[in-house]
Amino acid sequence: AQSVSQHNHHVILSEAASLELGCNYSYGGTVNLFWYVQYPGQHLQLLLKYFSGDPLVKGIKGFEAEFIKSKFSFNLRKPSVQWSDTAEYFCAVNARGSSGDKLTFGTGTRLAVRP
Amino acid sequence: EPEVTQTPSHQVTQMGQEVILRCVPISNHLYFYWYRQILGQKVEFLVSFYNNEISEKSEIFDDQFSVERPDGSNFTLKIRSTKLEDSAMYFCASSRDRGSNQPQHFGDGTRLSIL
């Protein structure tokens, strides 16, 4: 069974600071990888996804993530955060080629950006 | 952009009562999911549904739970004889296809409070 670890539970940054949120997964096979964001009072929205190809994927709002297979990692980055990036960020995986599509989520990282 | 809609946004129910959570997936989507998030914990998969039958369920999804697609638009989660530990945020999701290239789109969630 797959599992996901997000080591940063709560991150506080000032505007214009750079962001990197860690995500590691555990699974013996090939996975699809996702980052979802949940703004206060809103639903989970897909930020970016990796299925195959270039391990550096770009998403919405200037976010990007890099899949490093040897490290089982899919860290989320943004060079310069804004106050509007205040939200909770969830890393998720599903096992490619399996009979099921369930997403396995990490515990989430709550990001607070100070203006 | 089409959205997954969930009703009600907040449901308060006495322990032992039955509750039905409703979801309207995106109209051309074929795969439907329920997840839940207990306060302070990670988002957990409950069940996936395709072609009018359950395709996968977690160990959480016991006989107390059932899902149904009663018509062409709604997808419901029924919890019989609710328990205090059923208090959580319940998210519905849908995807156009399964697996590889099709991310799941989430609704705003229903906050279920069992008294």
Q: What are B39's two structure tokens?
A: 């306060």
Give contacts of A 31-70 with B, CB under 8 A: 32, 34, 36, 42-46, 49, 51
Q: Chain B: residue nearest A88 by CA?
A: B42
- Which residue is listed with tokens 């989507």? B29
Please tell me the predicted confidence (pLDDT) of residue A102.
87
| Tokens 């950006």 -> residue | A113
Confidence grade of residue B7 (pLDDT, cut at 50, 70, 90) = very high
Query: Cβ–Cβ of A97/B33 closer than 8 Å?
Result: no
The reported pLDDT for the residue numbered A98 is 59
pLDDT of residue A41: 79
Cross-chain residue pair A96–B99, CB shorter than 8 Å = yes
Mean pLDDT across B19-40: 93
All residues at 6 or more sequence positions from A102 whose CB lies less than 8 Å from its CB, including other chains = A94, B33, B45, B48, B56, B58
Nearest chain A Cα to B40, which residue?
A: A107
Phi, psi of B86 (to 5 degrees): -80, -10
Measure in Å the smallest separation between the Cα of B45 and chain A Cα atoms. Answer: 6
Q: What is the pLDDT of residue A61?
A: 93
pLDDT digits (tens, 9 = 90+) for B51-75: 899 999 999 999 999 999 988 789 9
For residue B40, name the pLDDT band (cuts at 50, 70, 90).
confident
Print burial letters for B47-56: b (CB count within 10 Å at least 16), e (below 16).
bbbbeeeebb
Q: Please tell me the distance in Å from A100's CA to the nearest CA on chain B.
A: 6
The predicted pLDDT at position B42 comes to 87
How far apart are the C-alpha atoms of A95 and A63, rounded to whole Å?
23
CA angle, corner B26, sides to A74 and A67, nearest 5? 10
Burial of B20 (C-beta count, 10 Å sphere; 0-12/13-18/19+): middle
User: What angle (nearest 5°) sits at the alpha carbon of residue B100, between those of residues B105 and A21?
Assistant: 65
pLDDT of residue B17: 97
Mean pLDDT split into 10-residue runs, chain A, 115 residues: 89 97 90 92 88 93 95 96 96 76 92 95
Question: What percent of chain B lies above the pLDDT cut of 90?
Answer: 77
Q: What is the per-residue pLDDT for B89? A: 94
B contacts of A98 (beta carbons < 8 Å):
99
CB contact under 8 A, B100 and A51: yes
| Three-state SS at A108 | coil
Cβ–Cβ below 8 Å for A42 and B108: yes
Contacts of A102 in chain B (CB under 8 A): 33, 45, 48, 56, 58
The chain-wide mean pLDDT, for chain B, equals 92
Q: How many CB atoms lie within 10 A of CB B85?
A: 9
Which of B3, B4, B98 has its CB closest to that of A101? B98
pLDDT in tens, B82-94: 999 999 999 999 9
Instruction: Indicate the pLDDT class of residue B78, thresholds 50, 70 and 90.
Output: very high
Neighbours of B63 (CB within 10 A): 7
Q: Could you give the CA distance from residue B22 to residue A103 in angstroms, rounded to a whole number? A: 21
CA-closest candidate to residue A51, choices A36, A23, A70, A32: A32
Q: Give the pLDDT confidence score for residue B73 in this predicted structure.
A: 87
